[in-house]
Amino acid sequence: MTIPQHQTIKMTLSWSVGHYHGWGVYGLNLVLAMLRRNISPRLLQKPGAMDLDPLQARLMIEVLENSTDYLRARLLHPERIIRAPDTIPLIHSDGRLVFDEVKFEGKPPVGITFFETANLESPAVERAKKFSSIICGSRWNETILKKKYQLGNVHYVMQGVETTQFFPSGRRYLLKDRFVVFSGGKLEFRKGQDIVLETFRRFHQRHPEALLLTAWSNRWVDAGSRFSGLWVDDFPEEGEEGLRHWMTRHLPQNSFLDVGQVANPRMPDILREVDVALFTNRCEGGTNLVAMECMATGIPVILSANTGHLDLVDDRHCLVLGQQQPVTLPGTETLLEDWGESSVEEALEALERVYRHPGEASRLGQEGHRFMANHPWSRQCDLVLDRILAG
């Protein structure tokens, strides 16, 4: 079926926008940037849950109304190809550079990618070559595509942060006199929460007032999520209660608190209660949105020096975990190229450094905030749109 043509520049998004996962936040901010630039966005998937202010809600209602024909066509006739010759489709990939099989024909598509493996399958690479351009979320991704697979028209654009929401502000002391260590990101082997648990377990033995505050909700658990068994046993059962029981097996009661699923605009008030954020991630296809938001909020951040994190690490505005050992896929001897295994001892020393030297920690937080102030979502999304429109 063919959608009528109009003169306004139009773009479609292949993924679901919303406030409860990284891709959703990225897409939502991209939609708002399009509206500012008189580009008409169309959604190819029903949006997820959103926590919008009244003005944003009014604008999104119009976007949904304009997307009705697309959404209805996909719902009622999923096998049919939607044709809109005047529209630029933006198609996102999974962690292996496998782009959505979207039944949509318009102008040459643009790929948006955050992939997590340096070894890509030939069919995925060949399909990517047919895109008008590829937008990458890290220099690591960009280098792999350009140098290893000789793809042209590949551009790195860092994610952004909503700097009108994520900024240093007064602490409410809701957690009283606890020393709060934060860890965020969906619970899985790649994100390295098993290393966080072991690091915090040792830190808590020295400092019983410490509290591990987590945002580890994961709606996409699969075989690749499970930990190796070195630092933790197995993987939690589904749901908040399963996570609580699992953490209780590794940490003393009352030493941890998970906030569950939180809409992105609600995270700043939580982060302002935090003393330090720890990210021992083994791999990031992008630059780790949660870590960026912590930095923007003025929290001293500890980062593993590998993959997408390398775009953030700088000892002027964060503490760097430089001891990175090779990583193999759990249960196998398969080397995960470029991934990094952080040292528990080095992570523990970084926590101790923040604990012992609050003045230095405050300075790091301030420098992190200054760094992220130059990367608001509005600017970063404009850079993405500039690349797309430049062809």
As given in the structure block, the two tokens for residue 168 are: 């240093």
Specify whether 19 is located in the same domain as 81: yes
The answer, yes or no, to whether residue 225 has pLDDT greater than 60, is yes
The answer, yes or no, to whether residue 5 has pLDDT greater than 60, is no
Q: Is residue 383 part of a domain?
A: yes
What's the rounded mean pLDDT across residues 270-282?
Answer: 98
Specify whether 239 is located in the same domain as 386: no
- Total tally of structural domains belonging to the chain: 2
Q: Is residue 285 part of a domain?
A: yes
For residue 382, the domain's CATH number is 3.40.50
Q: Is residue 173 part of a domain?
A: no
What's the rounded mean pLDDT across residues 358-386?
Answer: 98
243-255 pLDDT per residue, tens:
999 999 999 999 9
146-190 pLDDT per residue, tens:
999 999 999 999 999 999 999 999 899 999 899 999 999 999 999
Specify whether 100 is located in the same domain as 112: yes
Specify whether 242 is located in the same domain as 337: yes
Q: Is residue 191 part of a domain?
A: yes
Specify whether 242 is located in the same domain as 192: yes
The answer, yes or no, to whether residue 391 has pLDDT greater than 80, is no
pLDDT band at 228 (very low <50, low <70, confident <90, very high): confident
The answer, yes or no, to whether residue 4 has pLDDT greater than 60, is no
For residue 68, what are the domain limits?
10-160+376-390
31-69 pLDDT per residue, tens:
999 999 999 999 999 999 999 999 999 999 999 999 999
What's the rounded mean pLDDT across residues 84-111?
Answer: 94
The answer, yes or no, to whether residue 3 has pLDDT greater than 50, is no
